[in-house]
Structure 1
Amino acid sequence: MDHYNPLHAPDPAEWLELDEQERIGLVADYHDEAGIDLPNVKVHATMHAIVENQIALGDETPVRLKARQLMAQGLDRHEAIHAIASVLIKHIYDITKKPQGVGDPNQGYYAALRRLNARKWLRSG
């Protein structure tokens, strides 16, 4: 894989075969070439790569389905990735600030994803 475009899903197997730093680099290159000015390219590209990883895992997580739902609600794929990443970053922040109980720490993330919709995300930004 020699380029990345968030408007087009990468082949899941090909994406997951890449080293994590390669994935992040491809995402950073896309934003740089598109002239998108970001306050922290590394963090932005890392969040993109994480969401793409989760989408590539298919039905192992609810992320692929949520991305499809958001696009059906009018977001383009890039916006859907950002919407999902906004939920993910909040979840990461929350779990670093609050002790976790017993069970799967991802359940809070998945619950927040279920509540996410395009209208809600567009109003937040």
Structure 2
Amino acid sequence: MEDYNPRYVPNPAEWLAIPESERIDMVLFFHDEVEEALPEDGKTLHSLIHVVVENQIALGVQPVGNAIARLSRQGLSRHEAIHAVGAVLSEDIYDLMQNGQEAFNQTRYRRRLEKLTAKRWKKGQW
């Protein structure tokens, strides 16, 4: 795999065979190429979240794959769907750190992904 493009599903085996740091660099490069207006530190965090979501898809984390498929059927591009799932993930990680929890709440994450719709995403309600 030479390039990353969130519009297309990477081959799971190829994606996971790439060292994590290279996956991050590939996602950063993609966002540099499309000239998304993100501050440099924001671009790095944005890319890290992309990689985590792509990793979950490649590993077959069913709630994530289901959410991406559902959001795509509802009219979001695959890239937008990754952002929507990434927003839920980021918020759950933030809550984990703020509340001093010891473990990520997989059940909460799954439930929030199940409720996520394109309509809610576009309204900023995830």
**Do these two structures clear the TM 0.5 threshold for a shared fold by scoring above it?**
yes
Question: Is there any run of 5+ residues in structure 1 with no aligned partner, and where?
Answer: none
**Counterpart AA for 2:75:** G
User: Which residue number in structure 2 is paired with residue 123 of structure 1?
Assistant: 123
User: Which residue number in structure 2 is paired with residue 34 of structure 1?
Assistant: 34
Kindly state the Cα deviation for residue 104 of structure 1 after the two structures are TM-superposed. 6.4
**Counterpart AA for 1:42:** T
User: Which residue number in structure 1 is paired with residue 12 of structure 2?
Assistant: 12
Contact in 1 for aligned 2:93/2:104 (Cα 8 Å)? no
Kindly state the Cα deviation for residue 61 of structure 1 after the two structures are TM-superposed. 3.6
**Counterpart AA for 1:84:** V
Question: Is there any run of 5+ residues in structure 2 with no aligned partner, and where?
Answer: none
**Counterpart AA for 1:109:** Y
CA distance in 1, matches of 2:46, 2:104: 26
**Counterpart AA for 2:96:** I
CA distance in 2, matches of 1:69, 1:55: 14
The Cα offsets for residues 37-61 of structure 1, whole Å up to 9 and x where unpaired, read as: 2121110100000000011112x34
Q: Normalising by the residue count of structure 1, what TM-score does the alignment of the two structures yield?
A: 0.92
User: Which residue number in structure 2 is paired with residue 111 of structure 1?
Assistant: 111
User: Which residue number in structure 2 is paired with residue 54 of structure 1?
Assistant: 56
CA distance in 2, matches of 1:56, 1:85: 15
The Cα offsets for residues 21-51 of structure 1, whole Å up to 9 and x where unpaired, read as: 1111000000101111212111010000000
CA distance in 2, matches of 1:3, 1:44: 17
CA distance in 1, matches of 2:14, 2:36: 25
Question: 30-39 or 19-28, which moves further after superposition?
Answer: 30-39
**Counterpart AA for 1:87:** V
CA distance in 1, matches of 2:63, 2:20: 21
Kindly state the Cα deviation for residue 14 of structure 1 after the two structures are TM-superposed. 0.3
Say how many residue pairs are matched: 123
Please state whether the residue corresponding to 1:110 is helix, strand or coil: helix
CA distance in 1, matches of 2:105, 2:73: 28
